[in-house]
Amino acid sequence: MSTKKLVDLFLYEEQKTINTLKKEKANIIKVLTQVIHKVQNNGRVIYLGAGTSGRLGVLDASECKPTFSTNLFLALIAGGNAAMFKAQEDIEDNTKQAIKDLTKVKITKNDVLIGISASGTTPYVLSGVKFAKKKKITTIGITTKSNSILAKLTDYRINPNISSEIISGSSRLKSGTAQKIILNMISSISMIKSGKVYRNLMIDVQPTNKKLINRAIGIISMVCNIPLNKAKALFTKSKKNTKAAIIMHYKNCSLFQANKLLQRSNCNLRKIIG
């Protein structure tokens, strides 16, 4: 095939992935209902996976901290940190390691465990889910094979049926795309519903570098409808707390008073300024 035809093929097949996901809308909503309940009660979302699935879980969890200022998302991957950079496919058969990993992070009934496996048969993931179920912990399965073992084992599941890959057996392709989209929805929508987004703005962004500092100042300027120089002054007075800066402007109050209002509202800006 020519390069052009291959590009067309990939785009066509990925579009089919989106259409397949749409059929899982009801399951996605059920899963989100559980996740939102957990995070709003300070429970953690723990992703468990191996290979591509594990790396996608790590990617999603690691990006929640700077985006939403939350530590409630955690990812465990078969083989640990080293498996992020070098494939260790044999590790995914280690069933005892999943139990050790979940014990180490002290998983409790307040948490929700999300097992991610394209095939729905990964021993590491299945073992972790079985361990969680014995402890009466809510379990969710994300798999791209309908009626897989993982889908049948978990309390809730999202399982779009990706029947074939462009390169046969390579689940980093369409299955990986589907998993990434699902994880985007789980983390982002649960954070939106928890007050971590105002309008469509990253109101809880951590201003840890120049780009993010400028973004925070821009958010203050936009929400308060004030020039950037005034927004920057508020940002400084608030000690780099974007939400507090906005409250200081709207309520004409001190940083101390703004923080008090945030505490009373569970850090939900919409409850304070509408």
pTM comes to 0.92
Give the other-Cβ count within 10 Å of 102's Cβ: 22
User: pLDDT digits over 15-70, tens only?
Assistant: 999 999 999 999 999 999 999 999 999 999 999 999 999 999 999 999 999 999 99
**CATH (domain of 150):** 3.40.50.10490
Question: Using CA atoms, how far apart are residues 15 and 41, in angstroms rounded to an integer?
Answer: 36
Q: Which domain holds residue 222?
A: 210-273
In a domain, residue 185? The reply is: yes
Known active-site residue 63: yes
Annotated catalytic residue within 13, 14, 63, 165: 63
Show the tokens assigned to 166. Answer: 């462009």
In a domain, residue 204? The reply is: no
Known active-site residue 13: no
**CATH (domain of 265):** 1.10.8.1080
Give the CA distances from residue 5 to residues 1, 8, 18, 117, 265, in Å, rounded to whole numbers and listed in that order.
Answer: 6, 5, 20, 30, 55
User: pLDDT digits over 167-205, tens only?
Assistant: 998 999 999 999 999 999 999 999 999 999 999 999 998
Instruction: Decide which of 164, 192, 220 is a domain's last residue.
Output: 192
As for how many domains the chain has, the answer is 2
Show the tokens assigned to 153. Answer: 């084992």
In a domain, residue 265? The reply is: yes
Annotated catalytic residue within 13, 14, 24, 92: 92
Same-domain status, 84 and 173: yes
